[in-house]
Amino acid sequence: AQSVTQLDSHVSVSEGTPVLLRCNYSSSYSPSLFWYVQHPNKGLQLLLKYTSAATLVKGINGFEAEFKKSETSFHLTKPSAHMSDAAEYFCVVRPPGGGGFKTIFGAGTRLFVKA
Amino acid sequence: DAGVIQSPRHEVTEMGQEVTLRCKPISGHNSLFWYRQTMMRGLELLIYFNNNVPIDDSGMPEDRFSAKMPNASFSTLKIQPSEPRDSAVYFCASSLEIGTTEAFFGQGTRLTVV
């Protein structure tokens, strides 16, 4: 069975400070892990993905995430927040062979960026 | 590629009316997903197709909901009759469904049933 838990429903940071959005997963096999971002009134956009290659994954807009198997975590980070980063972020776990209903979305973390 | 295209972007309809949402997946993708997003429930997978065949529709909330994929480049999600509680944003997504490929999402259709 798979599950994904986003540990914070809301995160608030000041512009220019680091961002940390936490995600823990459980899976009985080696999953693929993704982070998506959703800006208001927009669809979901892929930020980055982990597919059993390098454990530190770099994505778009300066975001990166590190896969830590021992901690079953895939936290999303960015060194310096920008106002345009304010959005909702979803952590997603998917089995290696694909599969629609085996794709699990986290509940989402809403990021607020203060000027 | 233009990405996943959904239409309409917004739909307002009266309770009891039929609503049809449309989706054009990315060319070459062989899996298509319909999701519903609400504040209360977050993102819910309603149904997904692989090679135009519905694989699992257990996420479809009621018999009022139906989805079709007559060919590789078009899918519809129909609600008949619509109810106010169906108000949500409906997303279509497509993927290559090979190994570890990600899903690409459309912009969504915001449905309001009054």
Write out pLDDT tens, residues B26-37: 999 988 999 999
Q: What is the mean pLDDT of residues A1-14?
A: 91
Average per-residue pLDDT in chain A?
90
Q: Which chain B positions have a beta carbon within 8 Å of A95's beta carbon?
A: none
Structure tokens at B66: 């139906």
For residue A43, give the chain B residue with the closest CA: B107
The reply to whether residue A44 touches residue B105, judged by beta carbons under 8 angstroms, is yes
In this predicted model, which residue has the larger pLDDT, B61 or A95? B61
**How far, in Å, CA of A17 to CA of A10, rounded?**
16
d(CA A20, CA A1): 27
Cα–Cα distance, A1 to A92 (Å, whole number): 14
SS3 B97: coil
CB B41 within 8 A of CB B23: no
pLDDT at B100 over 60: no
Mean pLDDT, to the nearest integer, of B66-93?
A: 96
Rg of chain B taking only CA atoms, in angstroms: 13
Q: Between B90 and A2, name the one with better pLDDT.
A: B90
Residue B55 is nearest to which of A49, A96, A100, comparing CB atoms?
A100
Q: For residues A7 and A105, is the Cβ–Cβ distance under 8 A?
A: no
Q: What is the mean pLDDT of residues A7-12?
A: 96
Instruction: Report whether pLDDT(A76) > 90.
Output: yes
What pLDDT digit, counting tens, does each position of A17-59 carry?
A: 999 999 999 887 778 899 999 998 788 999 999 887 788 999 9
- B108 interfaces chain A, CB cutoff of 8 Å: yes
Query: Which residues are CB-neighbours of B16 under 8 A, at least 6 positions away?
Result: B81, B82
Q: What is the mean pLDDT of residues B93-106?
A: 79
- How many pairs of residues across A and B have Cβ atoms under 8 Å apart? 55
Instruction: Please judge whether B105 and A49 are an interchain contact, meaning their C-beta atoms are less than 8 angstroms apart.
Output: no
**Closest residue, chain A, to B34 (C-alpha):** A100
Nearest CA in chain A to B95: A98
Peptide bond into B8 cis (omega under 30): yes
